[in-house]
A and B are shown apart, each in its own frame.
Chain A
Amino acid sequence: MGRRKLAQPAPDRLFAMSTAYVTMETSMGLTSRGAAAIVFQPLATADFDSIVREMEEVVRATASDSGTTVTSSDDPYGFRWLLLRGSDFDDLVVGINAVSSALEAGGYGDRVLCSVFAFDDERSKRPVYWIYNYKRGAFYPFAPAAGAEQRDNERELVLKAQIGKELPVEQELERWFPLWGTPI
């Protein structure tokens, strides 16, 4: 593609998850695990730190009404996870969007890697994740399977077919990168 500028996140398409969840719950056998996360690459600057802290405050403030909690943790790759937990799925979506907006407003949109929504799969009795890639503005499913770093490609392809047009889905399968060891 030859683009030199790093793409800015596309938050509006994220909100499709709120409506898509209705379909997931009613006809796809997926139930929210009450957890979502946004993954970003922290910068070792004071400016970035303060933005992250501010953002955590904002999310805590908006989330506390619905009982959504916010925690953060760093992973072995050096990425930071902001983990939102709460029973109201729409609040999770709003919370995730608040974080990405804050980062973008601070000029750090390009540090955002993705956001992740966690579900329980009635059929496979295993967690299923929908990962949102901000740079591509599209979701893709990730269904880890039994065994170390195994994924159920067939289940993922079925989920793609089932969600149809309800979500903007990443069409290039070679971009469905997994997130091994997701903490939600």
Chain B
Amino acid sequence: MASRKSFGRDNGLQARMLLTIFLLGLVYALLVAVLIAAGAGAVTIAIVAAGLFAVQLFTSDKIALASMGARAVTPQEAPQLHAMVDRLCVQANIPKPRVAIAQTPMPNAFAVGRSPKTATVCATTGILQLLEPAELEAVLGHEITHVVNRDVVVMTIASFFASIAAFITQFGFLFGGGFGGNNRNNSNNNGFFVVILVSAAVYVISFLLLQALSRYREFAADRGSAIITGRPSALISALLKIDGGMARIPQRDLRAASSELAAFYIFPPKAKQGLTNLFSTHPPLSARIERLERLEAQLQGTT
């Protein structure tokens, strides 16, 4: 359902996206349940579902760009950004996507679009100011890998199949002889609620699997960036800056830090990730950095 592959963890945005995606899918599932209860035939339901899916596939990228306030920029307007995208596309061997900039201080970058030909890569003004050129190029490399891997399409199809799973469950219950065979009318009400419950449960499980798939594809995009740019450490450095948390390489002088015992003896415990990871579309920062460090060590021949 995610029509956007974005770069960093913007917690507020992520929470809203997650909720939207979840509710959207639930609406899909419930809509079909309602259609079935209303006596719509399988063909009608299939047409409606396919129609909605097609609409989503073809318009979601425009909606995503509009929601971020992203504006396409010409090479004259953003020469350095375009030059970077040019270089990356030559390396990745894909046609150059459109380039857009979103006016927001939140540092982030994302890619939308079904295929390299129809894709747009967007960077926020926040990220353009925050990162060094090599770091920005690494981030764009990550986004371009999403385009190459057709992640938007893959995730949309995967989420569609998740909805299909829910539909099949509903069909299975109503037509698979679960409620006294031919005599549907008697047990219609109870049956209806059970169908809703089970298809929602199936949907939740599919949703969690989708999140896992999304996280895997984020690792793949990190790896792709490292391969395209040949500079995995630039990506690590960018990730640390964007995250803006405790993990980053400090600016504070050692002498200033040592005056507080905390700097040496009691370090704030790393926040427990645990359950939140199930629902996250991105893997935890430490896992991403660990993999990138391994790639760098391989590159340097020191593994």
Contacts and interface: CB of A to CB of B under 8 A. Distances in A.
B266 A154 contact: no
Given A3-B265, A153-B249, A157-B293, A177 B257 contact: yes
Interface stretch (A44-52, A117-125, A158-166): A158-166
A165 B300 CA distance: 13
Interface in B230-284: 231, 233-234, 236-237, 240-241, 246-258, 263-267
Contact of B302 (A157, A164, A172): A164
Interface residues on A, range: 35 or more
Interface in A115-150: 131, 133, 135-136, 149
A39 B234 CA distance: 31
A75 interface: yes
B240 A154 contact: no
A155 B256 CA distance: 24
Contacts of B302: 161-165
Interface in A66-104: 75, 77-79
A158 B297 CA distance: 8
Contact of B135 (A151, A154, A163): A154
B134 interface: yes
A153 B240 contact: yes
A165 B119 CA distance: 43
A135 B266 contact: no
A3 B233 CA distance: 33
B83 interface: no
A163 B300 CA distance: 9
Given A154-B237, A161-B300, A178 B265 contact: no
B132 interface: yes
Contacts of B151: none
A174 B237 contact: no
Contacts of B233: 153-155, 157-158, 161
A105 interface: no
B254 A154 contact: no
Contact of B250 (A157, A164, A178): A178
A154 B134 contact: yes
A85 B257 CA distance: 27
B299 interface: yes
A178 B266 contact: no
Given A157-B296, A158-B296, A173 B255 contact: no
A166 to B, nearest CB: 9
Contacts of A173: 240, 247-249
A15 interface: no
Contacts of B234: 154
Contacts of A163: 302
Contacts of A77: 253, 255-256
A165 B134 CA distance: 27
Contacts of B250: 174-178
A35 interface: no
Nearest to A156: B249
Given A1-B265, A39-B255, A165-B302, 8 more contacts: A1-B267, A114-B254, A136-B264, A153-B249, A161-B296, A173-B247, A177-B252, A177-B258
20 contacts: A2-B265, A2-B266, A3-B265, A6-B265, A41-B258, A135-B264, A149-B251, A154-B132, A156-B249, A157-B236, A158-B296, A160-B293, A161-B299, A161-B300, A161-B302, A164-B302, A175-B250, A178-B252, A179-B254, A180-B253
- Shortest Cβ-Cβ A-B pairs, 5 listed: A164-B302, A157-B233, A177-B254, A77-B255, A153-B237
Interface of B: 132, 134-135, 231, 233-234, 236-237, 240-241, 246-258, 263-267, 293, 296-297, 299-300, 302-303
